[in-house]
Structure 1
Amino acid sequence: MVVEMQMVMELAATVLATLGMIIDGGFSAIKKEGKNVFDLGEQAYWLTVVFNVVTWQVCFMGTAGMVFLTSSLTGGVCMTALMALNVLGGVIVYGDNFGGFKVISTLLCVWGFSSYLYGLHMKIEDEEQKNEDSTEIDEQQFVL
């Protein structure tokens, strides 16, 4: 059900964005950009656009699947970690300026993700300790 809802939302967003671009003449601007602005040529530009659209759709479907299989908290935490990777990727690949706001937001994303992983680790350790304690109690009752 969650994946179906996500697909409907993505389809609606795609249709509305396409209609908006048709009405506003955005496709002609994209053609001009592919011919005149993009350094690697028009074919590489269109491949980049299509690849970008497909990868974002896969990313959003993966997030919906993660929410379906785990929890919305896990999906949110993983999206937060992806935001930090997006910022770092933009700095490394495109040479963006890594100013103060980007440093702070990246550190907060990493801190939040690390805190979540540490909390999850501690929860698993507590559950393992409880299982060991209950096993010891069961063994003592069996001996008596």
Structure 2
Amino acid sequence: MEMQVVIGFSATVFSIIGMIVNNDFHAIPREAQEFGLGKAGYYVLLVGAAIMYQLFCLGIMGAVFYGSALLGGVIMTVLIPVTEVLAVLFFHEPFNGIKGIAVALSVWGFVSYFYGEIQIHAQSSNKPSNVEKLDL
């Protein structure tokens, strides 16, 4: 987990250096001025999104560490339809065929993963134990 925190911090510093070199910080006040919720809302959204993304990456690494890499992939995959549906509901984005295919494939993968886990669990619970009971 510490490694993920260091990677996230290093990526943030690298991105900030890139923004300084490219003079991207000059565009932020202009974008904040044009933002529909005002300057304060823009900065809160900007900082909140950065913090949430770091926490998301840390959570995925926790899922990989305590579960499996497959579980981490499934969690990221199931977020595709959630993100698409929320974008359609809140931002009124068009829901085209490509988004529909992405949603269908991610839901299919999610259901397939849990179906496989249920099958593995059912098979392991039916096996007899290798440990013999000792009568004393």
Q: Same fold (TM over 0.5)?
A: yes
| Corresponding residue to 2:18 among 20, 23, 28 | 20
Structure 1 residues without counterparts, runs of 5 or longer? none
Once the two structures are superposed, residues 75-101 of structure 1 have per-residue CA deviations (whole angstroms, 9 ceiling, x without a partner) of 111111112211221111111111011
> Is the counterpart of residue 5 in structure 1 residue 3 in structure 2?
yes
1:98 partnered with 2:95 = yes
Structure 1 distance, partners of 2:51, 2:105, is 29
- Quote the RMSD (CA, aligned, Å): 1.6
Ranges of 4+ aligned residues in structure 1 off by more than 4 Å: none
Is residue 52 of structure 1 aligned with residue 36 of structure 2?
no
The size of the alignment, in residue pairs, is 132
- Other-structure match for 1:112: 109
Bigger CA radius of gyration? 1
Unpaired stretches in structure 2, ≥5 consecutive residues: none
How far apart, in 1, do the equivalents of 2:69 and 2:79 lie?
Answer: 15
Identity of aligned residues (%): 36
Q: TM-score, normalised by structure 2?
A: 0.90
